[in-house]
Amino acid sequence: MPMNNYRILTLVNFLAFIAIGINSPLLTLYLQGLGAGYALISLILTSTILVALVSNPAWGWLADRLGRRKPLYIAGLAGAALGYFWLSAASNVATAWPARLLDALSMAGVSTLGLTL
């Protein structure tokens, strides 16, 4: 892979994790605004961590089986973008929760595959 591709990959990873860093502190306030209590917010945040924990090895296994890491990485980025857009359009907690799970699933792929490219 030429050096220019490494720079692009580094920039994309940087921007993806900046999005997480900006989103994380504000997520609890956003969920409170949608009507979630502290217990439900804790459940949502815990479930997203568990989804990411379980899906990290699955992304790695899938990449090893298919032998194509770059398309999976792009799919992870697209899924994360879709999850963020879905989360921003959520009108209640019932729609915000699956959006957050999609984001966690996708960002697990981005973090796993970003290390292997």
Average confidence score pLDDT of the chain:
90
User: What's the predicted TM-score (pTM) here?
Assistant: 0.85
**Matching residue, tokens 């959006």:** 99
- The 3-state secondary structure of 2-59, one letter per residue: CHHHHHHHHHHHHHHHHHHHHHHHHHHHHHHHCCCCHHHHHHHHHHHHHHHHHHHHHH
DSSP 63: H
The pLDDT of residue 78 is 93
